[in-house]
Structure 1
Amino acid sequence: MIDTIKKRTIGFLAAAIIAIISQFLTAIIPNIGGATIAILIGIVLGNTVLKQPVLSAGTKFAEKRLLEYSVMLLGLTITFQTILQLHWSGLLFIIIQMAITIIAAIMIGKWLHFGEGIYLCMAGGNAVCGSSAIASIKPVINASDEDAGMSITLVNLMGTVMMLALPVIGTMVFGHVDMLRGALIGGTVQSVGQVIASATMVNQTTVQFATLFKIMRIIMLVVVVTVFARIHAKNEALANAEKEVEAEVKKGKIDFLPWYVLWFLIFCILNSFFHLPAFIGNTAHLLSSWCEIIALAAIGLRLNLKAFLKAGKRFAIYSVSVGLIQTIVALILIKLLIHA
């Protein structure tokens, strides 16, 4: 136990220090966000001065566990009652938007000859909530660390582009209608931090609407994880003997609902039906944010940039295509469904 802790300490501290630096840098460049800064610094340092194998155990632990804790803690920050504030048109917009994003990501991924690990992680990361969604999806589809890491990097980089572009696009298309601009940002931008940073570029009212739409996507995480687990089981059945996969499901070898997603749901239910003190939600939000930023720093440190650039053209086409589809579909759906 002590030896394990010692092995993990150096790599974990490296990721934590990068996360702290990233948070300080947000004061200088607030429009990008700590999460994106952390993964970018991690990629640069991990492929130059911090390539030592001794860091591996700690960065792997930070990447895996802290994202799981981040997902779990999110449950204490949201309630089901917030869904009611979106009305039926807002809910319908989110459901259709997520469904089209997932279908598009899967179809484009297959067309570009990516494996299941990549296209399901990309689908969930773009449709739901970026890194946290990928962390939830990864174990139920048995995605490799490399597939998840590359997907998280792509989703965060595309999220940064959309974070900067959508306030401008939203104002051009919807004028100064805050609810519609909030729907565009909250219904498309990938991570929670990026949604808030993007909406802040507009005004505080847009932040409130964008957050509501984003929360609805997060609540749908449990549904997405369950569906993706079934897709994976079906793919396994096609590749192997169907009876063997069914036997594994019955024995519990394939987890349709990871422990942290289950706790996410439990916390969300508690927060919805019981009046929890405000400091619990605030503390959970703070801890969840730090867990995500440290984990993203670790992912950056672990990303093999040479391997990433080798497949760069396909990844770039994939990421941009999904982002464009998300944005175009959102603009159409908001025009058709949502009336401020």
Structure 2
Amino acid sequence: MQLAPIPTLPSRLASRGIDVLPGVLLCALIAAIATVIGACVPLVGSAIPAVVIGVLVAMIRKPAARLAPGIGYAGKFVLQCAVVLLGAQLSLASIVRVGAESLPVMLSSLAVCLLGAWVIGRALGVDRDLRVLLGVGTGICGASAIAAISPVIRAKSADIAYAISTVFLFNILAVLIFPVIGHALGMSPHAFGLFAGTAVNDTSSVVAAASVFSASALGFAVVVKLVRTLMIIPISVGLAVLEGRRTGSSERLTPARILKLVPWFLIGFLAVATLTSFGAITETASGILTTVSVFLVATALAGIGLSTDLGAIRTAGLKPLLLGGILSLLVALTTLSVMAATGAL
């Protein structure tokens, strides 16, 4: 692979900045409006208004092509940066503790989801690749898992678009419904963090749902979600082996290839948490970083709202959509059942 020369890096970065700036500014403007709404109605927060405003704007008038790079940039990279900054709230010891606590709930819901995707998907007549994408998207971490798994199973672009659109639809429903369920069941912020981090399938929606429920639930929910994101690695490796056997063209799984399956923002989150653990990030700095992170989340969700493709769901039929809904329900019910059985509810 030929690398671009280092001397051209500043000009390339400047060009990229010019491309994404208009779209990012639009998302930031929506985030600012959503922040004002959240300040006036604290129960709503800034996450839901950002998504709703973004979707409404996209429905009324599709954003111009020159805004697309920045909208996509906000919906992905800005969100990942927000997650990295949330590491300032936690220490490595708390991450290990949360991982150990959430493991039974996480593994149970993932197993039920993957099994349900295979059995129910086949019964509904959903295409194999789409079953796999919906299963990993719902069971692990939404669009990130779908993006990681797609090249492994050589999924078609239409299947990828449908899976991401379906997962996103139920993410939005989770943001609206899960806080209501949490309050109805009298969950503590700690319990809701475990519930949202396990049963909601995309990082943005986990952050949004936890933010709506309680600010103190946010950090715990994110850690649970990030620990769950690590499941991309064994699932990707397993699918790569199965795909190789099915096609007879297995590609060697080197440590470097496996390492590439780990999302960079997970590494960044752990790095910031490490700095926090050693006192490099003060309490004041942690508060500032958390505030910035919340605004970045609203900016990212505005981008996701603006880029929502409602037509992709309408044109692909209802069976995969039905499968996505069933899987989301199975994950939520399994999570609640295991939490109740283990005394975590």
* TM-score bracket for the superposition, by shorter chain length: 0.7 to 0.9
TM superposition shift of 1:149: 5.1
- In structure 2, relative to structure 1, the CA distance for the partners of 1:27 and 1:263 (3 Å cut) is closer
Are 1:120 and 2:143 matched, yes or no? no
**Aligned CA-pair RMSD:** 3.4
CA distance in 2, matches of 1:25, 1:315: 35
Cα 1:222–1:328 shift into 2, 3 Å = closer
Among 22, 37, 40, the residue aligned to 1:25: 37
3-state DSSP class of the match of 2:231?
Answer: helix
Whole-Å separation in 1 of the counterparts to 2:344 and 2:108: 21
1:151 to 167, 172, 176: 167
In the TM superposition, residue 306 of structure 1 has moved relative to its aligned partner by 1.6
- Structure 2: 5+ residue stretches without partners: 1-11, 152-156, 201-205
Residue equivalent to 2:116 = 108
Asked if 1:195 is matched to 2:200, the reply is no
Change (3 A) 1:31 1:311: farther
Structure 2 match to 1:246 = 252
In the TM superposition, what whole-angstrom CA distance separates every residue of 1:177-228 from its partner, at most 9, and x where no partner exists? xxx6445422222313422432x4xxxxxx75x4575255145145323234
Partner of 1:308: 313
Task: Quote the offset at 1:14 in angstroms.
Answer: 1.8
Deviation at 1:167, TM superposition (A): 1.0
**In 2, Cα distance between equivalents of 1:60 and 1:38:** 15
Task: Sort the Cα spacing of 1:240 and 1:300 in 2 relative to 1 into closer, same or farther, 3 A.
Answer: farther
- Give distance in 2, aligned partners of 1:324 and 1:135: 18
- After TM superposition, the score normalised by the length of structure 2 is 0.74
Q: 1:32 to 1:329 in 2, by over 3 A?
A: same
* Alignment match of 2:58 (pick from 46, 49, 74): 46
Equivalent position to 1:36, from 48, 60, 63: 48
- Report the CA distance between 1:318 and its aligned residue: 4.1
Question: What is the aligned residue count?
Answer: 309
Q: Which amino acid aligns with 1:246?
A: R
Tell me whether 1:230 sits opposite 2:237 in the alignment: yes
Q: Counterpart in 2 of 1:328?
A: 333
Alpha-carbon separation, structure 2, partners of 1:9 and 1:83:
35
2 CA distance for matches of 1:337 and 1:251?
A: 37
Partner of 2:276: 271
- Partner residue of 1:141? 149
Contact 1:109 1:318 in 2 (8 A): yes
* C-alpha separation in 2, matches of 1:273 and 1:254: 26
Q: 2:103 is matched with which residue: 89, 95, 98?
A: 95
Residue of structure 2 in register with 1:297 after alignment: 302
CA displacement at 1:278 relative to structure 2: 1.4
Q: 1:307 is aligned with what amino acid? A: A
- The aligned counterpart of 1:167 is 183
Mean CA deviation greater in 112-121 or 10-19:
112-121
Mapped partners of 2:72, 2:140: distance in 1: 21
**Contact 1:68–1:136, Cα closer than 8 Å, also in 2:** no
User: How far apart in 2 are the matches of 1:253 and 1:327?
Assistant: 29
Can you give the 5+ residue segments of structure 1 that lack an aligned partner in the other structure? 126-133, 172-179, 201-206
In structure 2, what is the equivalent of residue 77 of structure 1? 89
Q: Secondary structure at the match of 2:221?
A: helix
- Read off the aligned partner of 2:221 and give its amino acid letter: K
Q: Distance in 2 between matches of 1:47 and 1:184?
A: 36
Deviation (angstroms), 1:242: 4.1
Aligned sequence identity (%) = 18
For structure 1, which segment, 184-193 or 295-304, has the greater mean C-alpha deviation from structure 2 after superposition? 184-193
